[in-house]
Amino acid sequence: MQPPVTYWCQSLLVDGVAVLGVRVTVGADGRIADRADAVPAEPGDIRLGTVLPGLANAHSHAFHRALRGRTHDQGGDFWRWRESMYAAAHILTPERYLHLARAVFAEMLVSGYTAVGEFHYLHHQPDGTPYPQAHAMERALATAAREVGIRLVLLDTSYLAGGLNTPLRPEQRGFSDGSATGWLARWTSLRDSLAADAAARPAEPALVTLGAALHSVRAVPRDAMSEILAGLPPEVPLHIHLSEQHRENADCLAAYQTTPTGLLDGLGALTPRLSVVHATHLGDDDLRLLGAHGVTVVMCPSTEADLGDGIGRARELAAAGSPIALGSDQNAVIDPFLEMRGLEMGERLASGSRGRFTAAALLQAAGTDGYAALGLGRARLAPGDPADLVEVDAHSIRTVGARTDQLVLAATAGDVRRVVVAGRVVADAGRLVHTPAAALAPPGSPAVLLRNALDTLDTLDTGISPDPPSPA
């Protein structure tokens, strides 16, 4: 455990309100031990400027980062894009995934994300056989997060079918454990393995925790969902893709005579521990059910726009009682500020009115509600909360002149300065510092990590070359 440390913030956004002169004392456990407002700096304080609470990326597929800039001009829709995604998944090994995930997590960290929920289903070799080392892909993700210094909630995902009443396709075999029983057994073994890893590192902050996910009603049959819901400990955060596509809704109605939300309701899955991802195409009854049960909705505006999925009913969901969280999903963009603005701008386009979400509400979605969706507890900068902070340049060409309480509507990831996770400065001005990964990319550049990881993938037959073939 680290010795206590104090940070003095010239301005700290607390519940969306700028509070001046805030000293945050961090305990040895990496949590806030004390907070004093309107106080002067003292010798020994680490001085920060304008500071936000930690920001959570509540839905990520790290390996999709390999598709950035390679699949965005091909036309089609989600289903066509998915074929390129399968090609990227097929070429990953644990070693390659360690390099790629480390680079992606580094990009997230320097962009202002202090925590990430990784919706992970690349469990086995492409033909479905296990890797020789148990949990090799999962351990690669955990190692990457520890080396970078970001909080990781590994949302280990059950993926058992190729569609409703459809067997797995060959390119999906590596995702599956064969049955709900098989997935639960592997999940339990993974939980024990991660706990043993943490116990072997008593001096390090506990950055990696385990959650769970059902991929979708398309990929997990109803009986298997029922078995998994009964077998998971009740405190474990649970996520699922929901009503991302019109086709998913139509297939579910044909198979079960109810919507995906109705199916989950019938299984007793709608509780505050559940987070549904996207929820783009909901009926009125679906919306009311999610709100009545306090289910979090994780929206991913950059991905939903990139894939042409549509604009979800965020404001109505929030009014009905569903907390809204945000994620980067396919990581075509890694910028928490653009996701926040994307949420509000989508609402403006759909409704024709401004201010559907206040700046404070956007910050709550990106921070507090994202942390809660990942099972990380409160993140309101009160004693006992994680000591996760994001310093933003309030005088850049983008932010100069902006009111502090409207900074999230002006800043981008390029304005992030120092990032603090569990009380430690882990990034500064776009570079990693004081972490094992910083030494791998002198001088701590995530761009170098990404280039090295992508160079490895480019030597393989991916079908997603960054450049078009030369004319014959």
Q: Say what the pLDDT of residue 471 is.
A: 30
Most confident by average pLDDT, 196-200, 259-263, 454-458: 259-263
**Where residue 469 falls among pLDDT bands split at 50, 70, 90?**
very low
**Helix 136-148, helix 180-199: angle, nearest 10:** 40
- Dihedral (Cα; 346, 355, 113, 298), 10-degree rounding: -50
In DSSP notation, 347-383 reads: HHHHHS-S-SS-HHHHHHHHTHHHHHHTT----SS-T
Residue 410's CATH number: 2.30.40.10
Residues 133 and 178 in one domain: yes
Q: What are phi and psi of 25, to 5 degrees?
A: -100, 125
Residues 415 and 357 in one domain: no
Give the end-to-end CA distance of the chain in Å, rounded to a whole number: 61
**Where residue 455 falls among pLDDT bands split at 50, 70, 90?**
confident
Query: Does any domain span residue 265?
Result: yes
Query: Does any domain span residue 154?
Result: yes
Residue 293's CATH number: 3.20.20.140
Query: Does any domain span residue 460?
Result: no
- Catalytic residue flag (residue 239): no
Residues 48 and 194 in one domain: no
What is the residue range of 18's domain? Answer: 1-53+381-429
- Tell me the CA distances in angstroms from 311 to 101, 122, 245, one per residue in order: 29, 28, 11
Q: Say what the pLDDT of residue 421 is.
A: 98
Say yes or no to pLDDT of 464 above 70: no
**Share above pLDDT 90 across residues of the chain, in percent, rounded to a whole number:** 87
- Catalytic residue flag (residue 329): yes
Q: Say what the pLDDT of residue 400 is.
A: 97
Query: Does any domain span residue 461?
Result: no
In DSSP notation, 155-210 reads: EEEE---SBTTBPPPGGGGGG--SSHHHHHHHHHHHHHHHHHHHHT-TTS---EEE
**Where residue 2 falls among pLDDT bands split at 50, 70, 90?**
low
Decide: helix, strand or coil at residue 78: helix
Q: Please write the tens of the pLDDT for every residue from 322-344.
A: 999 999 999 999 999 999 999 99
Residues 152 and 28 in one domain: no
**Where residue 259 falls among pLDDT bands split at 50, 70, 90?**
very high
Residues 192 and 271 in one domain: yes
Say yes or no to pLDDT of 470 above 70: no
Residues 173 and 316 in one domain: yes
Q: Please write the tens of the pLDDT for every residue from 355-410.
A: 999 999 999 999 999 999 999 998 999 999 999 999 999 999 999 999 999 999 99
Total domain count, the chain: 2
Q: How far apart are CA 184 and CA 224, in angstroms?
A: 10
Least-confidence region, from 1-5, 45-49, 331-335: 1-5
Which of 286, 309, 329, 385 is an active site residue? 329
Query: Does any domain span residue 467?
Result: no
Q: Please write the tens of the pLDDT for every residue from 142-180.
A: 999 999 999 999 999 999 999 999 999 999 999 999 999
Query: Does any domain span residue 434?
Result: no
Q: Say what the pLDDT of residue 465 is.
A: 44
Residues 230 and 372 in one domain: yes
Residues 40 and 152 in one domain: no
Taking all residues of the chain, what is their mean pLDDT, rounded to a whole number?
A: 94
Residues 70 and 131 in one domain: yes
Q: How many CB atoms are closer than 10 A to CB 397?
A: 8
Residues 208 and 170 in one domain: yes
Say yes or no to pLDDT of 1 above 60: no
Q: How many CA atoms lie within 13 A of 319 on its CB side?
A: 7
**Share above pLDDT 70 across residues of the chain, in percent, rounded to a whole number:** 96
Q: How far apart are CA 292 and CA 266, in angstroms?
A: 14
Nearest to 340 by CA among 319, 322, 365: 365
Residues 199 and 85 in one domain: yes
Q: Please write the tens of the pLDDT for every residue from 91-143.
A: 999 999 999 999 999 999 999 999 999 999 999 999 999 999 999 999 999 99
Query: Does any domain span residue 472?
Result: no
Q: Please write the tens of the pLDDT for every residue from 15-33.
A: 999 999 999 999 999 999 9
Residues 408 and 299 in one domain: no
Which of 278, 281, 286, 415 is an active site residue? 278
Query: Does any domain span residue 67?
Result: yes
Say yes or no to pLDDT of 219 above 60: yes
Which residues are 296's β-sheet partners? Answer: 275
Q: Please write the tens of the pLDDT for every residue from 53-96.
A: 999 999 999 999 988 988 877 777 787 878 888 988 999 999 99
Q: Say what the pLDDT of residue 459 is.
A: 52
